[in-house]
Amino acid sequence: MGAISSGGERGGLWASLARGPVYDAVQVVAGAAESRRRVVAELQLRPGDWLLDLGCGTGEIVAHLPEGVRYVGLDISLSCLFYGHRRWAERASFLAATAQAIPFATAGCFDHVVVAGVLHHLDDEAARGLLSFAWQALRPGGRVVCGDPVAYRGQRPLRRLMVRLDRGRHVRTPEGYSALLSAVFGTARGRVDDDAFRIPFSWYIQDARKD
């Protein structure tokens, strides 16, 4: 979770997160496994479902999937993808992609789409484009679940600071994220989760269904 990018990220030290082992180590320190479990719980997956993960990183969400779920992960980082493939090749497929150039036609193929830790790296135009792709990839009745760092009124100072230190440059308010998803899917539900990580952090989870 999640490195599909529009190029609006910070360089330098942050660029090292594009390397698979470093990415996973940071995720462990942050306690990201709990956030993944919560995203999977939102999806209500069943054996035989097809899941598309846009901005999959190293595919660590695979560890939390029920048996029989068919998983496809897309990301821009070749290092993360190779690392994920080595770990999960028997349970998952991985493909390289950017937010502007998804490499294959997936219209109506997937029951669920995850967009976790991605939208805050994208400006509004790129984010809507990625969510439009998610809509096209879903079967009728399919669901998308998104999760991203969030800033909101009344947020505790340390949580706000940690969110501001995130490498993504487009952290939004709950209303900002909801507007993006609603623009593509019509209606969306969302909630702030302040306990999804080991570190003080605020995460906004939202979902929508393709009618």
- The Cα 185–Cα 204 span in angstroms is 17
- The Cα 174–Cα 150 span in angstroms is 7
Per the structure, the count of domains in the chain is: 1
**Residue 184: other Cβ atoms inside 10 A:** 20
- Which structure tokens are listed for 53? 């993960």
Contact 203, 196 (CB under 8 A): yes
Domain with residue 53: its CATH number is 3.40.50.150
Model confidence at 28: pLDDT above 70? no
2 lies in a domain? no
6 lies in a domain? no
Query: Which of these, 205, 209, 59, lies nearest to 134 by C-alpha position?
Result: 209
Q: pTM of the predicted model, to two decimals?
A: 0.82
191 lies in a domain? yes
pLDDT tens figures, 44-56: 899 999 999 999 9
- The Cα 193–Cα 195 span in angstroms is 6
**Residue 188: other Cβ atoms inside 10 A:** 20
Q: Which domain holds residue 198?
A: 12-209
Quickly state the pLDDT bin for 196 (edges 50, 70, 90).
Answer: confident
Quickly state the pLDDT bin for 105 (edges 50, 70, 90).
Answer: low
7 lies in a domain? no
